[in-house]
Amino acid sequence: MAQGSTRPTSRDVAQAAGVSQAAVSLVLGDKWRGRVSEATAQRVREAAQELGYRPNLAARNLRLGRTRTVLLVVPALTTEFFAGVYTGAARVAAEHGFGVVLYPSPEGIGPARNPFGSAAAALDGVIASSMAADALTAIRGDQLPLVMLDSDPEGSLGAATVNLDIKDGVRQVAEHLLTLGHRRFLHLAADIASWTFEVRARELATRLSEVPGTDLRTTRAPITIEDALNAAETALAAPGPRPTALVCDDDKLAAGAYKAARRLGLHIPDDLSITGLDDLALSRAIDPELTTVRLDAERFGAQGMEALLAVLDDRTPPQGDIPVELVVRGSTAPPR
Protein backbone atom coordinates (compact mmCIF):
# COMPACT_ATOMS: atom_id res chain seq x y z
CA MET A 1 0.00 0.00 0.00
CA ALA A 2 1.34 3.43 -0.87
CA GLN A 3 2.40 5.53 2.09
CA GLY A 4 -0.02 8.33 1.12
CA SER A 5 -3.02 6.03 1.61
CA THR A 6 -2.13 4.78 5.10
CA ARG A 7 -3.98 6.17 8.06
CA PRO A 8 -1.78 8.61 10.05
CA THR A 9 -0.81 7.45 13.53
CA SER A 10 -0.08 9.24 16.79
CA ARG A 11 3.61 8.60 16.04
CA ASP A 12 3.23 10.62 12.81
CA VAL A 13 1.60 13.46 14.75
CA ALA A 14 4.36 13.36 17.38
CA GLN A 15 7.04 13.52 14.69
CA ALA A 16 5.33 16.41 12.86
CA ALA A 17 4.86 18.38 16.09
CA GLY A 18 8.32 17.56 17.45
CA VAL A 19 6.96 16.03 20.66
CA SER A 20 6.65 12.60 22.28
CA GLN A 21 3.75 10.22 21.64
CA ALA A 22 2.85 10.63 25.30
CA ALA A 23 2.39 14.37 24.75
CA VAL A 24 0.16 13.66 21.76
CA SER A 25 -2.00 11.33 23.89
CA LEU A 26 -2.30 13.94 26.64
CA VAL A 27 -3.30 16.70 24.23
CA LEU A 28 -5.76 14.71 22.13
CA GLY A 29 -7.22 13.10 25.26
CA ASP A 30 -7.70 16.61 26.72
CA LYS A 31 -5.50 15.76 29.72
CA TRP A 32 -2.63 18.14 28.91
CA ARG A 33 -3.35 21.07 31.25
CA GLY A 34 -0.60 21.41 33.81
CA ARG A 35 1.50 18.80 31.97
CA VAL A 36 2.42 20.42 28.66
CA SER A 37 2.37 24.06 27.59
CA GLU A 38 -0.46 25.75 25.69
CA ALA A 39 1.95 26.31 22.78
CA THR A 40 2.82 22.61 22.64
CA ALA A 41 -0.84 21.62 22.81
CA GLN A 42 -1.65 23.97 19.94
CA ARG A 43 1.23 22.55 17.89
CA VAL A 44 -0.07 19.01 18.42
CA ARG A 45 -3.62 19.99 17.44
CA GLU A 46 -2.39 21.71 14.29
CA ALA A 47 -0.24 18.74 13.32
CA ALA A 48 -3.15 16.33 13.87
CA GLN A 49 -5.41 18.52 11.73
CA GLU A 50 -2.88 18.86 8.91
CA LEU A 51 -2.27 15.11 8.83
CA GLY A 52 -5.97 14.28 9.09
CA TYR A 53 -5.28 12.22 12.20
CA ARG A 54 -8.28 10.78 14.01
CA PRO A 55 -7.74 8.86 17.26
CA ASN A 56 -9.20 5.37 17.53
CA LEU A 57 -12.04 6.34 19.85
CA ALA A 58 -13.39 2.82 20.23
CA ALA A 59 -10.05 1.51 21.51
CA ARG A 60 -9.53 4.54 23.74
CA ASN A 61 -13.01 4.26 25.21
CA LEU A 62 -12.45 0.62 26.08
CA ARG A 63 -9.18 1.56 27.73
CA LEU A 64 -10.68 4.45 29.69
CA GLY A 65 -13.97 2.74 30.49
CA ARG A 66 -15.84 5.68 28.96
CA THR A 67 -18.32 6.03 26.12
CA ARG A 68 -17.69 9.80 25.80
CA THR A 69 -21.45 10.26 25.52
CA VAL A 70 -23.58 12.60 27.62
CA LEU A 71 -27.36 12.65 27.97
CA LEU A 72 -29.07 16.06 27.98
CA VAL A 73 -32.55 15.75 29.52
CA VAL A 74 -34.81 18.75 28.89
CA PRO A 75 -38.55 19.50 28.90
CA ALA A 76 -40.32 18.83 25.60
CA LEU A 77 -38.89 21.05 22.87
CA THR A 78 -41.82 23.47 22.70
CA THR A 79 -39.61 26.55 22.31
CA GLU A 80 -36.24 27.28 20.76
CA PHE A 81 -34.74 27.94 24.22
CA PHE A 82 -33.79 24.32 24.87
CA ALA A 83 -32.57 23.95 21.30
CA GLY A 84 -30.12 26.73 22.21
CA VAL A 85 -29.13 24.89 25.37
CA TYR A 86 -28.39 21.80 23.26
CA THR A 87 -26.36 23.82 20.74
CA GLY A 88 -24.14 25.27 23.47
CA ALA A 89 -23.68 21.93 25.21
CA ALA A 90 -22.91 20.08 21.97
CA ARG A 91 -20.32 22.69 20.90
CA VAL A 92 -18.32 22.34 24.13
CA ALA A 93 -18.73 18.55 24.08
CA ALA A 94 -17.36 18.33 20.52
CA GLU A 95 -14.31 20.35 21.52
CA HIS A 96 -13.53 17.62 24.06
CA GLY A 97 -14.39 14.60 21.93
CA PHE A 98 -17.79 13.96 23.51
CA GLY A 99 -21.17 13.46 21.88
CA VAL A 100 -24.52 14.63 23.26
CA VAL A 101 -27.78 12.69 23.10
CA LEU A 102 -30.79 14.98 23.48
CA TYR A 103 -33.72 13.49 25.37
CA PRO A 104 -36.90 15.58 25.74
CA SER A 105 -38.99 14.43 28.69
CA PRO A 106 -42.58 13.66 27.54
CA GLU A 107 -45.16 16.33 28.39
CA GLY A 108 -42.38 18.68 29.44
CA ILE A 109 -42.10 17.27 32.98
CA GLY A 110 -42.58 13.98 34.78
CA PRO A 111 -41.25 10.44 34.41
CA ALA A 112 -39.84 9.21 31.13
CA ARG A 113 -39.04 5.83 29.68
CA ASN A 114 -35.38 4.92 29.61
CA PRO A 115 -33.93 5.92 26.20
CA PHE A 116 -31.26 3.22 26.65
CA GLY A 117 -31.37 -0.33 27.90
CA SER A 118 -29.25 0.84 30.79
CA ALA A 119 -28.37 4.51 31.05
CA ALA A 120 -25.46 3.74 33.37
CA ALA A 121 -23.94 1.38 30.80
CA ALA A 122 -24.35 3.74 27.86
CA LEU A 123 -23.42 7.14 29.31
CA ASP A 124 -20.64 8.98 31.07
CA GLY A 125 -22.91 11.60 32.60
CA VAL A 126 -26.18 13.50 32.49
CA ILE A 127 -27.17 17.18 32.26
CA ALA A 128 -30.78 17.79 33.24
CA SER A 129 -33.15 20.72 33.54
CA SER A 130 -35.02 20.90 36.83
CA MET A 131 -38.30 20.80 34.88
CA ALA A 132 -37.31 17.32 33.69
CA ALA A 133 -35.82 16.16 37.00
CA ASP A 134 -38.48 13.51 37.62
CA ALA A 135 -37.33 11.74 34.48
CA LEU A 136 -33.92 11.11 36.04
CA THR A 137 -35.12 8.48 38.49
CA ALA A 138 -36.89 6.54 35.75
CA ILE A 139 -33.75 6.37 33.61
CA ARG A 140 -31.43 5.90 36.61
CA GLY A 141 -29.67 9.09 35.53
CA ASP A 142 -29.42 10.22 39.16
CA GLN A 143 -26.87 7.41 39.67
CA LEU A 144 -24.49 8.89 37.08
CA PRO A 145 -22.29 12.01 37.26
CA LEU A 146 -24.99 14.67 37.07
CA VAL A 147 -25.19 18.41 36.47
CA MET A 148 -28.50 20.15 37.10
CA LEU A 149 -29.67 23.22 35.19
CA ASP A 150 -32.15 25.72 36.65
CA SER A 151 -32.13 24.07 40.05
CA ASP A 152 -31.92 25.01 43.71
CA PRO A 153 -28.20 24.85 44.55
CA GLU A 154 -29.07 23.96 48.16
CA GLY A 155 -31.16 20.91 47.32
CA SER A 156 -29.75 19.80 43.96
CA LEU A 157 -29.44 16.14 43.08
CA GLY A 158 -26.36 16.91 41.02
CA ALA A 159 -22.64 17.10 41.66
CA ALA A 160 -22.88 20.64 40.23
CA THR A 161 -25.62 23.15 39.46
CA VAL A 162 -25.66 25.77 36.70
CA ASN A 163 -28.18 28.60 36.83
CA LEU A 164 -29.16 31.70 34.94
CA ASP A 165 -29.53 34.74 37.20
CA ILE A 166 -33.34 34.60 37.01
CA LYS A 167 -33.67 36.44 40.31
CA ASP A 168 -31.86 39.44 38.85
CA GLY A 169 -33.98 39.24 35.69
CA VAL A 170 -37.18 39.54 37.72
CA ARG A 171 -35.62 42.36 39.73
CA GLN A 172 -34.89 44.24 36.48
CA VAL A 173 -38.49 43.75 35.30
CA ALA A 174 -39.93 44.95 38.61
CA GLU A 175 -37.69 48.03 38.74
CA HIS A 176 -38.53 48.91 35.13
CA LEU A 177 -42.29 48.76 35.75
CA LEU A 178 -42.12 50.53 39.11
CA THR A 179 -40.01 53.32 37.60
CA LEU A 180 -42.66 53.77 34.90
CA GLY A 181 -45.17 54.35 37.71
CA HIS A 182 -47.06 51.03 37.85
CA ARG A 183 -48.52 50.00 41.20
CA ARG A 184 -51.23 47.45 40.29
CA PHE A 185 -49.67 44.20 39.05
CA LEU A 186 -50.87 40.84 37.79
CA HIS A 187 -48.40 37.96 37.74
CA LEU A 188 -49.21 35.38 35.04
CA ALA A 189 -47.25 32.50 36.54
CA ALA A 190 -46.28 29.23 34.90
CA ASP A 191 -48.36 26.42 36.39
CA ILE A 192 -45.34 24.15 36.80
CA ALA A 193 -43.82 22.98 40.09
CA SER A 194 -40.22 23.99 39.45
CA TRP A 195 -37.58 25.90 41.38
CA THR A 196 -37.04 28.45 38.61
CA PHE A 197 -40.69 29.51 38.68
CA GLU A 198 -40.73 29.61 42.48
CA VAL A 199 -37.80 32.04 42.30
CA ARG A 200 -39.72 34.29 39.88
CA ALA A 201 -42.79 34.47 42.10
CA ARG A 202 -40.82 35.03 45.29
CA GLU A 203 -38.57 37.74 43.85
CA LEU A 204 -41.45 39.63 42.23
CA ALA A 205 -43.42 39.64 45.48
CA THR A 206 -40.34 40.75 47.44
CA ARG A 207 -39.49 43.63 45.10
CA LEU A 208 -43.04 44.96 44.90
CA SER A 209 -43.53 44.73 48.68
CA GLU A 210 -40.67 47.21 49.12
CA VAL A 211 -42.72 49.97 47.45
CA PRO A 212 -45.73 51.35 49.36
CA GLY A 213 -49.10 51.26 47.63
CA THR A 214 -48.42 48.31 45.32
CA ASP A 215 -50.92 45.52 44.74
CA LEU A 216 -49.97 42.11 43.34
CA ARG A 217 -52.39 39.44 42.17
CA THR A 218 -51.39 36.08 40.73
CA THR A 219 -53.01 33.74 38.23
CA ARG A 220 -51.50 30.54 36.88
CA ALA A 221 -51.51 28.80 33.51
CA PRO A 222 -49.64 26.01 31.73
CA ILE A 223 -47.11 27.40 29.26
CA THR A 224 -49.33 27.47 26.18
CA ILE A 225 -50.77 30.49 24.40
CA GLU A 226 -54.35 29.19 24.71
CA ASP A 227 -54.08 28.53 28.46
CA ALA A 228 -52.47 31.92 28.99
CA LEU A 229 -55.24 33.60 27.00
CA ASN A 230 -57.95 32.02 29.17
CA ALA A 231 -56.21 32.68 32.48
CA ALA A 232 -55.30 36.28 31.66
CA GLU A 233 -58.77 37.09 30.31
CA THR A 234 -60.44 35.81 33.48
CA ALA A 235 -58.02 37.67 35.76
CA LEU A 236 -58.19 40.97 33.84
CA ALA A 237 -62.00 40.89 33.76
CA ALA A 238 -62.30 40.24 37.52
CA PRO A 239 -64.08 42.85 39.71
CA GLY A 240 -62.08 45.67 41.24
CA PRO A 241 -59.36 48.00 39.89
CA ARG A 242 -57.73 46.43 36.85
CA PRO A 243 -53.96 45.80 36.93
CA THR A 244 -51.89 48.18 34.78
CA ALA A 245 -48.92 45.80 34.43
CA LEU A 246 -48.93 42.10 33.64
CA VAL A 247 -45.70 40.23 34.45
CA CYS A 248 -45.42 36.87 32.63
CA ASP A 249 -43.08 34.01 33.52
CA ASP A 250 -42.46 33.21 29.87
CA ASP A 251 -42.81 34.82 26.43
CA LYS A 252 -45.44 32.28 25.36
CA LEU A 253 -47.55 33.25 28.35
CA ALA A 254 -47.12 36.90 27.32
CA ALA A 255 -48.36 36.11 23.79
CA GLY A 256 -51.52 34.61 25.29
CA ALA A 257 -51.91 37.70 27.47
CA TYR A 258 -51.74 39.89 24.33
CA LYS A 259 -54.71 37.99 22.90
CA ALA A 260 -56.62 38.34 26.17
CA ALA A 261 -56.01 42.10 26.26
CA ARG A 262 -57.23 42.53 22.69
CA ARG A 263 -60.32 40.40 23.37
CA LEU A 264 -61.14 42.75 26.27
CA GLY A 265 -60.56 45.84 24.13
CA LEU A 266 -57.39 46.88 25.98
CA HIS A 267 -54.53 48.58 24.15
CA ILE A 268 -50.91 47.58 24.81
CA PRO A 269 -49.10 49.46 26.34
CA ASP A 270 -51.57 52.35 26.88
CA ASP A 271 -54.06 50.35 28.97
CA LEU A 272 -51.82 47.47 29.98
CA SER A 273 -48.05 46.96 30.04
CA ILE A 274 -46.91 43.36 29.50
CA THR A 275 -43.50 41.76 30.11
CA GLY A 276 -42.14 38.31 29.28
CA LEU A 277 -39.06 36.28 30.12
CA ASP A 278 -36.83 34.36 27.65
CA ASP A 279 -36.53 36.65 24.60
CA LEU A 280 -37.74 34.01 22.16
CA ALA A 281 -38.16 34.89 18.47
CA LEU A 282 -41.86 35.17 19.33
CA SER A 283 -41.16 38.31 21.38
CA ARG A 284 -40.26 40.24 18.22
CA ALA A 285 -43.05 38.72 16.11
CA ILE A 286 -45.92 40.12 18.18
CA ASP A 287 -47.05 43.75 18.00
CA PRO A 288 -45.98 45.77 19.85
CA GLU A 289 -42.71 43.93 20.34
CA LEU A 290 -42.37 42.47 23.82
CA THR A 291 -40.33 43.84 26.70
CA THR A 292 -38.66 40.74 28.10
CA VAL A 293 -35.56 39.30 29.77
CA ARG A 294 -32.94 37.86 27.44
CA LEU A 295 -31.57 34.49 28.55
CA ASP A 296 -28.40 33.23 26.85
CA ALA A 297 -29.48 29.64 26.18
CA GLU A 298 -26.30 28.63 24.34
CA ARG A 299 -24.07 29.92 27.11
CA PHE A 300 -26.31 28.10 29.58
CA GLY A 301 -25.82 24.78 27.75
CA ALA A 302 -22.10 25.40 27.27
CA GLN A 303 -21.54 26.10 30.96
CA GLY A 304 -23.58 23.01 31.86
CA MET A 305 -21.30 20.86 29.69
CA GLU A 306 -18.17 22.54 31.08
CA ALA A 307 -19.42 21.75 34.59
CA LEU A 308 -20.01 18.09 33.73
CA LEU A 309 -16.57 17.74 32.14
CA ALA A 310 -15.08 19.25 35.31
CA VAL A 311 -17.01 16.74 37.46
CA LEU A 312 -15.75 13.86 35.29
CA ASP A 313 -12.17 15.10 35.67
CA ASP A 314 -12.46 15.81 39.43
CA ARG A 315 -12.02 19.54 38.83
CA THR A 316 -14.01 22.39 40.38
CA PRO A 317 -16.89 23.35 38.02
CA PRO A 318 -17.29 26.97 36.84
CA GLN A 319 -18.89 29.12 39.52
CA GLY A 320 -21.44 31.94 39.39
CA ASP A 321 -24.85 32.43 37.77
CA ILE A 322 -25.05 33.46 34.12
CA PRO A 323 -26.08 37.13 33.73
CA VAL A 324 -29.40 38.02 32.08
CA GLU A 325 -30.52 41.26 30.45
CA LEU A 326 -33.79 43.22 30.35
CA VAL A 327 -34.69 44.16 26.77
CA VAL A 328 -37.13 47.08 26.72
CA ARG A 329 -39.44 47.19 23.69
CA GLY A 330 -42.88 48.57 22.91
CA SER A 331 -45.08 46.59 25.31
CA THR A 332 -44.34 48.71 28.39
CA ALA A 333 -45.14 52.37 29.11
CA PRO A 334 -46.31 54.54 32.04
CA PRO A 335 -49.88 53.78 33.17
CA ARG A 336 -52.61 56.20 32.15
Q: What is the mean pLDDT of the segment spanning 126-148?
A: 72
Say if CB 232 and CB 246 are below 8 A apart.
yes
Closest residue by Cα to residue 272 from 173, 184, 207, 210: 184
Angle among Cα 304, 203, 194 to the nearest 5 degrees reads 50
pLDDT of residue 4: 44
The predicted structure's pLDDT at residue 57 = 47
Beta strand 325-327 with 292-294 is: antiparallel
pLDDT at 20: 87
Q: What are phi and psi of 328, to 5 degrees?
A: -90, 125
Q: Is 101 exposed, middle or buried (0-12, 13-18, 19+ CB in 10 A)?
A: middle
The string over 293-314, giving b where at least 16 C-beta atoms fall within 10 Å of a residue's C-beta and e elsewhere, is bbbbbbbbbbbbbbbbbbbbee
What's the confidence (pLDDT) of residue 301?
A: 95
Environment class of residue 68 by beta-carbon count within 10 Å: exposed (0-12), middle (13-18) or buried (19+)?
middle
What is the average per-residue pLDDT within 278-299? 96
Confidence of residue 141 (pLDDT cuts 50, 70, 90): low
| pLDDT at res. 36 | 84
- The more confidently predicted of residues 290 and 143 is 290
Residues 94/147, Cβ–Cβ less than 8 Å: no
Band of pLDDT at residue 159, cut at 50, 70 and 90: confident
pLDDT band at 231; cut points 50, 70, 90: very high
pLDDT score of 5 more than 50: no
Instruction: Measure the CA–CA gap between 255 and 287, rounded to whole angstroms.
Output: 10
| Percent of the chain scoring above 90 in pLDDT | 53
pLDDT of residue 298: 95
Q: Work out the pLDDT band at 166, boundaries 50, 70, 90.
A: very high
User: What is the average pLDDT score of the chain?
Assistant: 86
Encode pLDDT of 293-322 as tens digits: 999 999 999 999 999 999 988 888 888 999
Residue 114 has pLDDT above 90, yes or no: no
- Bridge-based pairing of strands 292-294 and 245-248 is unpaired
Confidence at residue 63, expressed as pLDDT on a 0 to 100 scale? 40
DSSP letter string, 188-202: EEE-S--HHHHHHHH
pLDDT confidence of residue 245 = 98
Is residue 140 scored above 80 in pLDDT? no
